[in-house]
Structure 1
C-alpha cells in the first residue's frame, strides 16, 4: 500500500467517524443558528488539513536548506501536501458539478 492510498483510507475513516459522531440532522445549521452542519465541519477540517500539510511541507523544505532534514522527508512532505490539495480540489469540483446538476433539474 503506497502513501496516497493510506492517506485516502485515513481521510475516509476520519470523515466517517466525524459524521457518525456528529449525527447531524438534515436541516441542522440551515437557518444560520446552531453550530453548523456536519458537512461544514467536514469542509473546515479539510481546509485545516490543507493548511497543516502545506505548512509541514514548507517547514521540511526550510529544514532541508539548513541540513536538518533529509531530501526523502522533503519529497514525502511535498507529495503529501500535493495529494491533500488535489483531494480538496476534486471534492470542490464534485460539489460544483452536483450544484449545476441541481440547477438543471426541472421544477
Structure 2
C-alpha cells in the first residue's frame, strides 16, 4: 500500500471523528437558538440528509483506498451525495426567490 493512501485514510478518519464529536463548531452562528417551527425542522432534516450522504461518500472513498470497497460503490455514493446537495440547493434557491417576490409586493 502506498504511504499517501494511508495518509488520506488517516485524514478522513480524523475528520470524521471531529464531525461526530462536534468539535468543528457551529457553521451557521446559531449556537443555542432553538427553532421549533415546521420550516426549521424541514431545514434541519435537509442539512442532516446532506451531512449523512457526504459522510457515506467519504467513508466509501476511504474504504476504496484500502481496497475494501468497489469503485462502483464509490461512484454510487458520490452520485447520491451530489443529488442530495443539488436538491437542497434547488429548494434554497426557490425559497430565496419566493422571499424576494414577497418583498417586491406592494403594501
What's the CA shift for 1:81? 0.1
For residues 62 and 93 of structure 1, the distance between their equivalents in structure 2, rounded to whole angstroms, comes to: 32
Unaligned runs of 5+ in 1: 1-33
Query: Is 1:93 matched with 2:93?
Result: yes
Q: Which has the higher contact order (CA 8 A, sep 6+)?
A: 2
Structure 2 unaligned spans of 5+? 1-33
Task: Normalising by structure 1, report the TM-score.
Answer: 0.67
Report the CA distance between 1:35 and its aligned residue. Answer: 5.6
Q: Does 1:80 align with 2:80?
A: yes
Large movers: runs of 4+ above 4 Å: none
**In 1, Cα distance between the equivalents of 2:60 and 2:81?**
11
TM-score in terms of structure 2 length: 0.67
Aligned length, in residue pairs: 74
